[in-house]
Chains A and B, each alone.
Chain A
């Protein structure tokens, strides 16, 4: 790892992928109940090298290479979790999670409810998601909206190293199942300071990454970084944009969103996942229900198109993704409206 320590602040600058790695490592050291299982997490050290060296350090009982069988990975982890372990199941790419859908939705999310609280399911399912890395049809998908509808699931999608560390620790601590989404384009493109030592960030708290007065932008994942860039670009033009990084997709931080919308009176939601029935639909419905009379413009969504998948060809991939320029334009239009 290439982490550089900054002694004077007690923080370390690292990338998102390093943040995942060090947080997992610390958890394995800290808590004997924690174990990692998934495809290529052992001998290969994970396809992004997140768990490289873990097998040697912690042994095959805690770093478990599994067959290519996602339903089994999650199903076995559910059993471990119900019996007192703290499994961290990895789905190699979010695109592969579909075989595990029944285990996640039908079993994990309902364990506490079905057993009337006798059993809980303290497990984390980590998975890299999102496009923009030429991953083509089966390595680019966003899956949050598919699981968003399910009560009993927590869905986290932090975008910075510090948030990843705090929320991954919170997820491991959480007594119920957590779907932990890592945008793969941020893995090595995003760097930031991470506080030393153990800490958690409360699940369900969004973060205002930049304060502003003219437009509220709600986003998450790689888009949140683009939105921040766009907002900073507009600052010199006198357009003041507030950027909220959701971090926690479910539960959703209604308070932070509503407070901001009541201030700016305009809301732009940005996500890479398909627009129809996406996270933005829920946010805009919530704002319409709770803050209609504070809105001075129609709520707007910039989101992925309704096409079945992201193409491999560069023009197709670019067509699917939202560019920072488009974000700048949308923010400018809304401020001017």
Chain B
């Protein structure tokens, strides 16, 4: 039986989607719930699971093409119906049965000790052979396509060493097609021209880099923001010596306990949200009906990931401790790096923080996220000689904090009040305290 797959609606307001990448090609078998296509809408990329187990008959929409939701994008021949199934694409239970002997070879019977049997979870490589957690992880880390690796283990199993050898043979960019004997699958769109395509990350002189969906959206937002919101800019310098010491004291234990690096960012965000609570006008939006002062403090963090600018949001950041902020930010950054941010992670921001100092900047003029009244940057922490109140000169860890503001909403007095408040809060933090 043929099942037609349509462009899913990934979000309530979404009307169209782009096929970012086909994960299967015609003739490939696919299991129910196995991801077979990557769809991008707006800034969210989502892998879409197959609704049935079967074999891909046709991919209707090309990679890069955008179609309205509900448009047919692929046809899957369901297994178990009249359509003859290709070898190796039996029903799930048959597959488990076939794979079981590979996992559990005859065990020494004398002690009743047998290898742990098949656990029923789907853990197959593209060639239908089960792979171990180590193999799966190493393949992902080295960008190796499991379908192109010849297994040297028992019954042709792909071993961890096979992946490491493949990675050594073809550093980055996957394994160069080793030509599977007799494979005559029709050339799929996925296989065409995946190498040396001009890309944002690997830009070379003279190239024309095609615009990705995400890049188009970034561009549009930047232009919209600059055109509609009159940006004003201000800056202050902050003595972060004490909070810097505090962080240094806590960071090793924190990383050990939570697996997240403790940077200055959560301390900074904590101070920002406290100031936002004191200056609610900074946490508002300009609308034709009036200035909407937001009931929640949802702080976006600007992140560069995979050649894109993404701003995931920590919801209700004013309700979180420094530790809570660090963990929430750590999770969002990790998701961003792995391309796993969902629509919810990106929505509802009311103010944005940009950690420009991470790249060494000491001064920047950020562009507002459309609809928000302010964006602040934490610049690089640098040691400088500072003349203190008692006229002594001391070496202190200093950081600039820059802010762009929507001058329709906020005037200089409020903005300066906000920045001075933020400065005071940051300088009062540490050198000891509770996270």
Contact = CB atoms under 8 A, between A and B. Distances in A.
A173 interface: no
A305 B154 CA distance: 27
B116 A275 contact: no
Contacts of B160: 265, 296
A302 B153 CA distance: 22
Nearest to B161: A296
Interface string A295-337: 1111111111110000000000001001100100110010011
Contacts of A302: 108, 111, 113
B22 to A, nearest CB: 27
Nearest to B154: A337
A95 interface: no
A296 B132 contact: yes
Contact of A275 (B113, B137, B154, B159): B113
A304 B111 CA distance: 6
A27 to B, nearest CB: 38
B421 to A, nearest CB: 45
A219 to B, nearest CB: 13
B202 interface: no
B134 A295 contact: yes
Contacts, number: 61
B187 interface: no
A295 B103 CA distance: 13
Interface in A60-77: none
B135 interface: yes
Contacts of A333: 105, 154
Contacts of B157: 337
Most chain A beta-carbon neighbours within 10 Å: one of B111, B154, B157: B111
A292 interface: yes
Interface string B137-154: 100000000000000011
Interface of B: 103-105, 107-108, 110-113, 115-116, 132-137, 153-154, 157, 159-160
29 contacts: A265-B132, A265-B134, A275-B111, A275-B112, A275-B113, A292-B133, A293-B133, A293-B134, A293-B136, A295-B134, A296-B132, A296-B160, A298-B103, A298-B115, A299-B116, A300-B113, A300-B115, A300-B116, A305-B112, A326-B108, A329-B108, A330-B108, A330-B113, A333-B105, A333-B154, A336-B154, A337-B105, A337-B154, A337-B157
Q: What 8 A-B pairs have minimum CB-CB distances, sorted nearest first?
A: A296-B160, A296-B134, A298-B116, A293-B137, A305-B112, A296-B132, A293-B133, A326-B108
